[in-house]
């Protein structure tokens, strides 16, 4: 079994690390909020710095919120890079900028180490159930070396291409998810305003061509008003910002992505930065002066 480092133990990172421990690996752990006791009780070893994690581990996984966080974890004082030695592998499973990812990979490669970008989809539920979709950028040889670890955390695991391509795939995923949340919100709001029972409408739609994972999970959240985060609006905003910035750089128009971002902005303006992203429906409800369900 391998010595694995894991930096970032939040909503997603903690259950992912727990599944690696269950798989029989020794985990060296660090998080700015502290290492959860349940992980150390299960056999994980708390480290004072990311550098210490990198010194102890053969494969170092990072799972933090945004591009600047990854840069800090990797390259700041007492960061991962300072603890690396030749032949080690760094795997960033955060969702960050594809452009910056390529630069991070180059710096790690210059230290004689390999780099994979491996962002995930599936939210907290997928992380807990080891059912994440994992989109990987890097060399095939490094991917094959790390794949047994990915299989302890996810089910749909794909090598998309070179460094940065995993992150590009994740941005594409977030565009699809945001637009589907918007579509489900509009449909259920239309049904509710028309006087139909949105719960029964959702049930009927789940048996037809409109069926989707978003309708199943987030449609239920909209009806039951359960907006505690599996995935926070502020994080989805960050991902759509990456999409829109990339589109602008390429001279590409993403009109519906921009609309979804504006709806998220409305939620944040009303105190919803930490709501689950299914709460995008609340922006639609404000414009309609009507709720999907009360």
What 8-state DSSP symbol labels residue 211?
-
Number of CB atoms found within 10 A of residue 26's CB:
17
Per the listing, tokens 């010194």 go with: 55
Give the 3-state secondary structure of residue 214.
helix
- Cβ atoms of residues 154 and 126 within 8 Å: yes
Mention every residue, 6+ apart, whose C-beta is less than 8 A from residue 113.
84, 85, 86, 87, 88, 89, 90
Residue among 51, 170, 274, 294 flagged as catalytic:
170
> What distance in Å separates the CA atoms of residue 184 and residue 157, rounded to the nearest whole number?
27
Cα(178)–Cα(100) distance, rounded to whole angstroms? 23
Q: Which two tokens stand for residue 54?
A: 């990198």
* β-bridge pairing 59-62 and 3-7: parallel
Q: Is 170 known to be catalytic?
A: yes
Q: Long-range contacts: 37-40, Cβ < 8 Å, 24+?
A: 38/14, 39/9, 39/14
Q: Are 108 and 98 in contact (CB under 8 A)?
A: no
Q: β-pairing, 120-121 with 132-137?
A: antiparallel
The residues, ordered by sequence, that sit 6+ positions from 34 with a Cβ below 8 Å of its Cβ are none
Active site residues: 170
């Amino acid at each position: 079994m391998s010595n694995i480092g894991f930096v970032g133990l939040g909503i997603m990172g903690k259950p992912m690390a727990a599944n690696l421990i269950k798989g029989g690996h020794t985990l060296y752990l660090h998080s700015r909020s502290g290492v959860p006791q349940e992980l150390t009780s299960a056999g994980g070893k708390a480290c004072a710095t990311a550098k210490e994690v990198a010194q102890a581990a053969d494969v170092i996984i990072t799972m933090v919120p945004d591009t600047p966080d990854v840069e800090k974890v990797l390259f700041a004082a007492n960061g991962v890079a300072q603890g690396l030695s030749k032949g080690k592998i760094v795997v960033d499973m955060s969702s960050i900028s594809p452009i910056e990812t390529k630069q991070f990979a180059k710096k790690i490669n210059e230290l004689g180490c390999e780099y994979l970008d491996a962002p995930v989809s599936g939210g907290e539920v997928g992380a807990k159930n080891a059912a994440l979709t994992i989109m990987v950028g890097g060399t095939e040889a490094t991917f094959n070396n790390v794949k047994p670890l990915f299989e302890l955390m996810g089910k749909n695991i794909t090598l998309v291409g070179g460094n940065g391509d995993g992150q590009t795939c994740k941005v594409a995923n977030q565009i699809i998810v945001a637009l589907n949340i918007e579509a489900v919100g509009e449909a259920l709001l239309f049904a509710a305003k028309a006087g139909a029972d949105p719960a029964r409408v959702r049930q009927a739609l789940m048996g037809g061509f409109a069926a989707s994972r978003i309708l199943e999970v987030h449609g239920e959240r909209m009806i039951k008003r359960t907006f505690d985060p599996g995935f926070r609006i502020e994080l989805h905003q960050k991902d759509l910002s990456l999409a829109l910035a990339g589109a602008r750089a390429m001279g590409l128009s993403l009109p519906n992505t921009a609309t979804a971002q504006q709806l998220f902005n409305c939620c944040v303006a009303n105190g919803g930065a930490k709501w689950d992203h299914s709460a995008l429906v609340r922006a639609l409800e404000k414009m309609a002066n009507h709720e999907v369900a009360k």
